Amino acid sequence: MKRYICELIGTMVLVLFGCGSAAIAGAALGNLGIAFAFGLSIVAMAYVIGDISGCHINPAVSIGMWIDGRMEAKDLVLYIIFQCIGAIIGIGILAALISCAPSLGGYMATGLGQNGFGAASTVGLNLYGALLTEIILTFVFVFTVLGVTRSEKTSAIAGIVIGLTLAFVHIMGIPLTGTSVNPARSLAPALFMGGTALNQVWVFIVAPAIGGIIAGLTHKGLFSGE
């Protein structure tokens, strides 16, 4: 249970500070600032809960770990459930904070860091582009996580590497889809925003899951000897 609670807390922190930076201070921070908010959240949590749960805080990462043989199916299911609960709590806290600041116009006006394509994309990326973007970015991120946590030799720097990787995939992805690479991170704001965000959220659940699967299979094929 300690592992599951750690995943809940870690995902809550990631969503609160990552999506919060986009929703509250996105205009001031710019894409680079938002990207580092997500990345630094991972760095912080990795060194706090990494020894307990592995600090997946992302269903796509957990899927990759399961495929690579590092966790059991039961743990995979419970990790995903607690990650989603943590993400929803994080967005709930964010919505409450925004509601306490009248100048922000309410949480619906901020978007809560939601993902989207078409009219919801800064560059008007279409459905197929969104699917491809999220699959590729998630593959790169999860493949990096699997690689840097494979050996004890790199475990000391794993949190920094993973955090910087999350930041750099956000730098490219934010103008395209808002960058998901994490189904829990996308589901939570979509539930609160409804409308277009909720209609489109399936893309940001399916595509990262596919990216995680491909990363898991690739890593296992390259490094397990199977």
CATH assignment of 2-223, given 1.20.1080.10, 3.90.550.10, 1.10.10.60, 2.130.10.10? 1.20.1080.10
Torsion of CA 101, 106, 109, 114, to 10 degrees: 90
d(CA 40, CA 57): 13
Contact between 59 and 209 under an 8 Å Cβ cutoff? The reply is yes
pLDDT, tens only, 172-187? 999 999 999 999 999 9
Q: So where are the chain's domains?
A: 2-223
Distance from C-alpha of 189 to C-alpha of 89, rounded to nearest angstrom: 10
State residue 149 phi and psi, 5-degree precision: -100, 5
For residues 222 and 226, give the distance between their C-alpha atoms in angstroms, rounded to a whole number: 8
Structure-token match 């094929």, residue found:
221
Q: Taking a C-beta distance cutoff of 8 angstroms, is the pair 148, 161 a contact? A: yes
- The predicted structure's pLDDT at residue 152: 84
Q: What does the DSSP 8-state code read for residue 202? A: T
Asked whether the predicted pLDDT for residue 226 surpasses 60, the reply is: no
- Within 10 Å of residue 98's Cβ, how many Cβ atoms? 20
Condensed to tens digits (0 to 9), the pLDDT of residues 44-79 reads: 999 999 999 999 999 999 999 999 999 999 999 999
pTM given for the model: 0.95
Query: pLDDT, tens digit, for every residue of 129-172?
Result: 999 999 999 999 999 999 999 988 888 899 999 999 999 999 99
Residues 39 and 174: beta-carbon distance below 8 Å: no
Quick one: pLDDT at residue 70?
Answer: 92
Tell me if 53 sits within 8 A of 7, measured CB to CB.
Answer: yes
Tokens 């397990």 -> residue: 224
Label residues 143-174 b or e (16+ Cβ within 10 Å = b): bbbbbbbbeeeeeeebbebbbbbbbbbbeebb
Instruction: Give the residue among 121, 146, 112, 134 at the shortest CA–CA distance from 34.
Output: 112
At residue 177, what is the residue type? T
- How many Å apart are CA 169 and CA 153, to the nearest integer? 25
Q: Which two tokens stand for residue 20?
A: 């919060």
Over its C-alpha atoms, the chain yields an Rg (Å, rounded) of: 16
Short-list 145, 205, 188, CA closest to 18: 188
Burial of 30 (0-12, 13-18, 19+ CB in 10 A): exposed
pLDDT: which is higher, 126 or 154: 126
